[in-house]
Amino acid sequence: MDNILLSLLTNPLVWVTIVILYTLKKGVYFVPQNRGYVVYTLGKYTKTLSAGLNFLIPYVQTVAADRNLKEQSLEIISQPAITKDNITLDIDGILFMKVIDAAAATNNITDYKTSVVQLAMTSMRNAIGSMELDECFQNRDAINAQILGAMTEATAPWGVMVTRYEIKDITPPQTIREDMEKQMTAEREKRSVILTAEGVKTSAITEAEGLKQARVLDAEAAKAEQVLAAQATKESQILEATGKAEAIRLVAEADASALDVVGSAANTEQGKAAVTLTLAQDAIKAHQAIANESTIVLTDGKTGDNIANTVAQAIAVSSSLKL
C-alpha cells in the first residue's frame, strides 16, 4: 500500500492532473442570485460577474470582492444632537440601503457600510440642528426626507443607494420631558374645558331648536284649527242661508198659491161680494181703532155716508151669502 502511494506521489502525471483540476476550479465560478463578483486582471478592475456560470483566466484574473446586492438595513446608534434652540436630544434611527454598483462599492470606498453609517449620523445631526424642538417632534417625515436627500447625493459615487431612512426615538433631557408632560397636561385640561363648553353650547342650541320647533308646530296647529273653524262656520252659514232662502221660497210659493186661490174666488160674483164684505169689515175696524185711540176724529164729511154705504153693502152681501 505504501509502495502504491509513493508511486502516485512520485508520478509526474498525477501532479499534472492535480494542477489541471485546480486550474479549472480557479477558472469556473457559479455566481448566486443578487451577488456581484468584482474581477481584477493583474491587479486592475476588469468586470463584474453576474449571476450564473462564469469563466475566468486562472492566475491572471481573480475575484477581489463579493458584494451583496440585496437591500440591507443598518442601525444608527443613539447619539446626541443639538436643536436650533440649543436643546440636546438623543436620537437613533435605521436606514435601508442596497449596492447597485459592486465595482464602485469596491473601488471607490474602503468600507461602504461604515461610511454610510457615519454619513447618516452626520446628516441626522445637521437636520436636527436646522429645526427647533417642537419641529423635531412634529416633522419626523421632514427630517427623514432631508437625511435621505443628503445621503442619496453623497452615496451615489460609492455605488450605494439609500432607499429609506427612519428615526426611531427622539429622547429629550429629563427637565424638558417634565416640562413637556406639564404642557401636555395643560393641553388636555384645556381640551376638556373646550369640549365641555361645546357640549353645553350644543345642548343649549338643541333645546332652543326644540322649543322653536314646538312653537312652530303649535302655531301651525292653531292655524289649522282656525281654518277648520272658519270652514265649519262658513258651511253653517251657507246651510243657514240655504234654509232661510228655502223657507222664503216656500212662503212666497204659499202666498202666491193663496193669491191665486183668492184671485180665482174673487173673480166670481160671490167672491166679489165676499171681498166687498171683507173690505167693509176692515174699514169699520180701522175707524173703531182710530176712535179708541183719540177723542177727536177728523173726517172729510163723507165718511159717515161711506161707512153707511159700506155697512149696507156688507149687510146685503151677508144676507145673500146666507141664502
**The pLDDT of residue 319 is above 60:** no
Average pLDDT over the chain reads 81
Query: What is the rounded CA–CA span in Å between residue 173 and residue 88?
Result: 7
53-90: buried (b, 16+ CB within 10 Å) or exposed (e) per residue? ebebeeeebbbebebebeeeebebeeeebebeeebebe
61-68 β-sheet, strand order: 44-49, 35-41, 61-68
Higher pLDDT: 229 or 161? It is 161
> Which distant-in-sequence residues (6+ apart) come within 8 Å of 103 by Cβ?
36, 38, 45, 48, 159
Q: Identify the burial level of 160 via C-beta atoms within 10 angstroms of its C-beta, where 0-12 means exposed, 13-18 middle and 19 or more buried.
A: buried
Do 119 and 72 contact (CB within 8 A), yes or no?
no
Q: How many helices (H) and strands (E) does the chain have?
A: 9, 8
- Please report, for residues 192, 203, 214, 216, 265, the alpha-carbon distance to residue 206 in angstroms, rounded to integers and kept in the order given: 21, 5, 12, 15, 87
- Hey, what long-range contacts does 138-146 have (CB within 8 A, 24 or more apart)? 140/167, 140/170, 143/167
Please report, rounded to a whole number, the percentage of residues in the chain having pLDDT higher than 70.
76
Looking at residue 73, its pLDDT comes to: 92
- With H, G, I as helix, E, B as strand and everything else as coil, classify residue 34: coil
Q: In this structure, what C-alpha cell is assigned to residue 160? A: 450605494
Do 270 and 321 contact (CB within 8 A), yes or no?
yes
Identity of the amino acid at 132: E
Looking at residue 8, its pLDDT comes to: 60
**The pLDDT of residue 38 is above 90:** yes
**The pLDDT of residue 323 is above 50:** no
Highest mean pLDDT among 115-129, 169-183, 212-226: 115-129
> Which distant-in-sequence residues (6+ apart) come within 8 Å of 8 by Cβ?
14
Query: What is the rounded CA–CA span in Å between residue 14 and residue 20?
Result: 10
Higher pLDDT: 60 or 310? It is 60
Highest mean pLDDT among 95-99, 129-133, 138-142, 287-291: 95-99
> Which distant-in-sequence residues (6+ apart) come within 8 Å of 33 by Cβ?
51
* Average of per-residue pLDDT across 192-218: 87
Put residue 232 in one of left, alpha, beta given phi > 0 → left and psi -120 to 50 → alpha.
alpha
